[in-house]
DNA sequence: GATCTATTTTGATTTAAATCAAAACAGAGT
DNA sequence: ACTCTGTTTTGATTTAAATCAAAATAGATC
């Protein structure tokens, strides 16, 4: 794994196209040259859409696995409940990303997914996906890339282990920034959908530490914090702040 | 994700078969009912074996990706080098496990893999695997399970974020124990192939902290440490020690 | 707009782990 | 068996983050 597992070291903001703008199909099929019939098969595969209101769950740990979900719009959090009742956040997921990949291994969802804002997803029955993938190799290959990317990202989280709170936060913000940019949103100016506590859980910090680290980054002039609204005012120094940058 | 992402909460040692005993083919194909011809195609796919001596690299970050590697015997460490030259360990891999899944996303290896003891791997050209997978759906599905399992495992590492040093070590040892058991080795008595520093890197701790945590677990009668040799003398309390158990 | 609740910030203190340092030990090679 | 080197253990000290506590702020609801 290169150190850019969480973010390419020097992604060029302006060069990032809003490639997989809003649709699960796009995310799954963009790089593919398809004929009429294949497009039809895919349309059939991807025609189940669902609205998930803020606070509602998309799936819960322990439930049978049938479908992947491509986020068409909105924002999700995945988490597990530990024995002691504490909630451990395992990821944040935005437009164009795919949820449910972890469930393939056991045919059971291993985490809970809840919408942090009103969202729309595209349900992709996995059995059908594998079927169609047999006749459209590039689709199958693309699924493999998506799964692999997930592995790279999750593994990149290990790098946080060696970082201090401020570095973790910087890394987290840069990763969000990168992902917003990929989707055509501003990479320098965005709203956090999650609480400090959720960020802390994800990064292995307490919420007070998250708050302090953000305040510190602001003091140092790297970012501008207004509760949930974040502006990256010096992205260069923010990168250097991470020590070892890395993103998606 | 359930809390057992790193280890099933109550795996029954005696009931674990040495299922995928030693071969990449087994790991990739066990649950599959195959006919003559399919077996042949697979044999062809899996006939490239390599010996990797202790200290030698299987692949390095940045190199072009062509093949997955199934570990037939031995023990590997994967790691990335950070800008400051520090080494971040990203995983340990033993017989029956598959290396290189992270490289699919970019067609480039994202980490280095080095043998921690003399090892043997089975090279699996990925293009061929996808080809053959098209005609053997269960093989393709099994690949998906393997990748998904990797995601679950990597994500389970996030749970370490909320743990103290002793809990992390206990979790780590139980995960190793579980994986040894699956392969038919003793789950209560094994040798660590890696140094304290490598364990620390993986768990987000310094080597001194690892050493102290092990000593502490020994004092408390949960394990028996003799440099690299570990005996789990009270696996029940070791599990409770993790607070929230979880494994593979 | 006023009230209530959840979230966030900040401060004081404690605690766990990192750091610094040195001794003990193990394994490889001679 | 002896030496050399890398690894591990243990101790003393410092530092970063957790914890405890309270005030400030933001959002939601009436």
Nucleotide nearest to A229 (CA to C1'): D26
CB-based contact B102 A61, cutoff 8 Å: no
Q: Cα B113 to the chain's mean position, in Å? A: 12
Mean pLDDT lowest among A103-112, B27-36, B84-93: B27-36
Which of A143, A154, A202 shows the shortest C-beta gap to B151? A154
Lowest pLDDT segment from A84-93, A208-217, B200-209: A84-93
Rg value, chain B, Cα? 18
Beta bridge partners of A52: A119
The reply to whether residue A141 touches residue B162, judged by beta carbons under 8 angstroms, is no
Residue showing tokens 């006939």 = B47
Sort out which chain A residues have CB atoms less than 8 A from B129's CB and list them.
none
In angstroms, the CA A20 to CA A118 distance is 20
Distance in angstroms (rounded) separating the CA atoms of residues B31 and B41 = 17
Please indicate whether, in this complex, the C-beta atoms of A83 and B158 are within 8 angstroms of each other: no
Per-residue model confidence (pLDDT) at position A84: 82
Pick the CATH number of B14-156 from 3.40.50.300, 3.90.79.10, 1.20.120.1810, 2.60.120.10: 2.60.120.10
Q: How much is the mean pLDDT over chain B?
A: 86
* SS3 state at B66: coil
pLDDT tens for each residue of B136-157: 898 899 999 999 999 999 999 9
List the single residue in B with minimal CA-CA distance to A147: B147
Three-class secondary structure of residue B77 per DSSP: strand
Domain ranges of chain B: 14-156, 163-241
Q: Do B159 and A88 touch (CB under 8 A)?
A: yes
- Cα separation, A153 vs B77, whole angstroms: 18
Is the CATH number 1.10.10.10 carried by domain A164-241? yes
Does the domain at residues B163-241 carry the CATH identifier 2.40.50.100? no
Minimal-distance CA residue of chain A relative to B9: A83
Positions in chain D where some atom is under 7 Å from a protein CB: 7-12, 16-21, 25-27
| Residues of A in Cβ contact (< 8 Å) with B102 | 1, 148, 151-152, 155
Q: Is the pLDDT of residue B23 over 50?
A: no
Report the half-sphere exposure of B111 (CA within 13 A, side-chain side): 29
Cβ of residue A209 lies below 7 Å from strand D: yes
Q: Which residues of A4-37 are buried (b: 16+ CB within 10 A; e: fewer)?
A: bbbbbeebeeeebeeebebbbbbbbbeeeeeeee
Q: Estimate in Å the CA A182 to C1' D24 gap, whole number.
A: 36
Over residues A139-165, the pLDDT tens digits come to 899 999 999 999 999 999 999 999 999
For residue A84, say whether its CB is under 7 Å from any atom of strand D: no
The pLDDT score that the predictor gives to residue A32 is 53
| Nucleic strand D under 7 Å from the C-beta of B160 | no
Considering CB atoms only, which of B3, B82, B160 is closest to A244?
B82
């Amino acid at each position: 794994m290169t150190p850019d597992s969480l973010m390419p070291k020097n992604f060029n903001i302006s060069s990032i196209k809003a490639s997989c703008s809003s649709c699960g199909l796009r995310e799954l099929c963009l790089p593919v040259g398809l004929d009429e019939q294949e497009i039809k098969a895919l349309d059939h595969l991807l025609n189940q859409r669902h609205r998930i209101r803020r606070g509602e769950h998309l799936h819960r740990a322990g439930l049978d696995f049938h479908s992947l979900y491509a986020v068409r719009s909105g924002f999700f959090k995945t988490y597990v409940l530990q024995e002691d009742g504490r909630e451990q956040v395992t990821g944040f997921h935005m437009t164009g990303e795919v949820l449910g990949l972890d469930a393939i291994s056991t045919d059971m969802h291993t985490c809970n997914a809840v919408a942090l804002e009103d969202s729309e997803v595209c349900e992709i029955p996995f059995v059908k996906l594998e079927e169609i993938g047999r006749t459209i190799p590039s689709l199958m290959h693309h699924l493999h890339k998506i799964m692999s990317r997930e592995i790279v990202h999750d593994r990149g989280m290990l790098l946080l282990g060696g970082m201090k709170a401020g570095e973790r936060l910087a890394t987290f913000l840069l990763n969000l920034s990168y992902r917003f940019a990929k989707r055509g949103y501003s990479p320098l100016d965005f709203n956090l959908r999650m609480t400090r506590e959720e960020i802390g859980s994800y990064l292995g910090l307490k919420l007070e530490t998250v708050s302090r680290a953000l305040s510190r980054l602001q003091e140092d002039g790297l970012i501008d914090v207004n509760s949930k609204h974040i502006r990256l005012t010096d992205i260069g120094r923010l990168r250097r702040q991470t020590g070892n940058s890395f993103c998606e």
